[in-house]
Amino acid sequence: MTDRAETVKALPVEQQDWDEAAPRPEALVESLRSFGYSPETALADLLDNSISAKAVNVDLFFVWDGPDSHVAVVDDGNGMTAEILVEAMRPGCMSPLEARKATDLGRFGLGLKTASFSQARELTVLTRSKGDPDVQIRRWNLDLVAGTGQWRLLKTSSSQAERYRERILASGGTAVVWTKCDRLLGDVEKDPEKANDRFLLVAAQVQAHLGMTFHRFLVGRGARKISVNGNAVKPWDPVLQHPATQALGAGDRIPFMGSVITARPYVLPHRSKLSEEQQKLGAGIRGWTAHQGFYVYRNNRLVVAGDWLGAAGAKDEHTKLARIVVDFDASLDLAWQIDVKKSTARPPGVVMDDLRRLATRTRRSAEEVYRYRGNIVPGLAKGTDRPLIVAWEEFKARSGDVRLRLNRKHPLIEDALSGPASQKRAVERVLKFVEETIPTSLIGIRLAEALDTQSTPYETRPDELVKLLHYALEMMTTAGMARDKAIDELVLLEPFSNFPAITESLRDGAT
């Protein structure tokens, strides 16, 4: 016998030993509206039910009709019998402690109700299971509950939900319809035009959010199809499948409570390797910097989309290419403290050391990629196994500050320093003046403002690059170096290393 059963057995049974303190319906329903759902997380919660019901097609409809506007989620899943529907409409229909099927995306038995109530005061569900000739209907109207003080679950449909009856009757499945969408719409009467714009914006945001949250369900064998107002939801993979995406090893397998947590670290490509469309795709909903961190999946459903989970420092532009994919199954929900909205998670304390180690390694690798393209950290020249000669170097000053200085071994700078002693002193003074007066704070601000559109040096001035390239070639050949050998060396120098095609075109005199 379980501890819980022993506790119940030991409780007093005489009426005089206890009072029944049932919650007041009119008070509780308002509390159920305050779980902190956004429209996106609320509708994602409804889609969990559709996917758990083995739906292949899920269609969302945002139908504008002023104060009578509604939102519907219609699927072709298994549907429900009348008995199961009534139970599903009951707040807290299933304990989070109960075992779930491996494919079940639910947990608390609250999602359908709390997600819906967070946006609307009326919820209608129409459903038909296989073998059932009739459409089953149940409806919550919070105004009725508040007015009567009773949990009156209606057997009739709202007028807006009626339009989905024939579809459910014909193909089976379930339609969840929100009406009286007070929180979703705002004050329609005061400014209907703005309310309409806000309604359409929510539809677009929901479409993007679903593509991120359910991207694994939208691809591969047995892929589902999700649409919003007839527009197909496109999957958004945070790893950004691209030849230049770096997988840092095969990933870690962390045994925990009879299950396994997997963690796979990735470093995404620098923007210089991406097309404009790929840059937008990698930026996701919130932008490159906001989307760094851990991506936590529960039963293939994304729960956390970019967060360091307390395992690393703050998000910043230097580590924006770091993303780590973490997977676990529903048996670990309580250990990960999954919330009702399934939009936050907290790692178990015993795995934090593993996550910190992964975060540190991934952030360091991401920073190297970012900073190499920022022309500070040496690497290999593009297309070669030879070291790149950078224009700027890092060094640690006596004060302990990390500073930047121009690389005195760069051939262009060496040439400027190769003249008479007076010229060398003058050039050195200019170089030190430039190094001491770099407006690092201003540069940091401007980079943060335009981080994903920052150009590579000379990218927007190819004419100036070509002039500098010819100057460097003439300098090297005048010093006695063979032309082809000089071009080989130029490919290793910044900024020419960023434009190998232009540099190589010197061989046939095209530039």
Q: At what angle do helices 483-490 and 462-478 cross, to 10 degrees?
A: 130
In eight-state DSSP terms, residue 311 is S
For residue 400, the model assigns a pLDDT of: 74
For residue 198, the model assigns a pLDDT of: 93
Q: Among all chains, which residue has been given the structure tokens 């936590």?
A: 296
CA dist 333 and 347 (Å) reads 10
E strand or H helix that includes residue 301: strand 301-307
Q: 409 Cβ partners below 8 Å, 6+ apart?
A: 389
Q: Among all chains, which residue has been given the structure tokens 């670290």?
A: 265
The backbone torsions φ and ψ at residue 469, rounded to the nearest 5 degrees and listed phi first, read -65, -45
CA dist 485 and 22 (Å) reads 87
Closest by alpha carbon to 189, among 360, 69, 365?
69
**pTM score of the predicted model:** 0.72
CA dist 433 and 278 (Å) reads 40
Q: 475 Cβ partners below 8 Å, 6+ apart?
A: 411, 412, 415
Report how far apart, in Å, the C-alpha atoms of 100 and of each of 301, 392, 399 are.
15, 57, 59
Strand 246-247 relative to strand 293-298, pairing: unpaired
How remote is the C-alpha of 81 from its chain's centroid? 36
Closest by alpha carbon to 175, among 230, 128, 223, 224?
128
CA dist 228 and 204 (Å) reads 8
Secondary-structure percent of the chain, ordered helix, strand, coil, rounded to 5: 40, 20, 40
pLDDT per residue rounded down to tens, the chain (511 residues): 455 556 556 655 665 677 888 888 888 888 888 888 999 999 999 999 999 999 999 999 999 999 999 999 999 999 999 999 999 999 865 544 444 455 444 444 577 999 999 999 999 999 999 889 999 999 999 999 999 999 999 999 999 999 999 999 999 999 999 999 999 998 888 889 999 999 999 999 999 999 999 999 999 999 999 999 999 999 999 999 898 899 998 889 999 999 999 999 999 998 878 888 999 999 999 999 999 999 999 999 999 999 999 999 889 888 999 999 999 998 898 899 887 777 788 999 999 999 999 999 999 999 888 766 544 444 555 555 567 788 888 877 777 777 888 999 999 999 999 889 999 999 999 999 998 888 877 776 665 555 455 566 777 788 898 999 999 999 999 989 999 999 888 888 888 887 888 888 888 766 6
Is the C-alpha dihedral spanning 220, 224, 227, 233 positive or negative?
negative
How remote is the C-alpha of 380 from its chain's centroid? 31
Closest by alpha carbon to 374, among 287, 286, 469, 440?
440
What single string gives the DSSP state of each residue in 163-177?
GGHHHHHHH-EEEEE
For residue 4, the model assigns a pLDDT of: 56
For residue 388, the model assigns a pLDDT of: 77
Domains, the chain, in order of start with CATH, read 25-232 (3.30.565.10), 246-373 (3.30.230), 392-508 (no CATH)
CA dist 281 and 271 (Å) reads 11
For residue 53, the model assigns a pLDDT of: 95
Between vectors from CA 287 to CA 462 and to CA 51, what angle results, nearest 5°? 135
For residue 377, the model assigns a pLDDT of: 42
For residue 100, the model assigns a pLDDT of: 44
For residue 16, the model assigns a pLDDT of: 62
Between vectors from CA 265 to CA 298 and to CA 455, what angle results, nearest 5°? 120
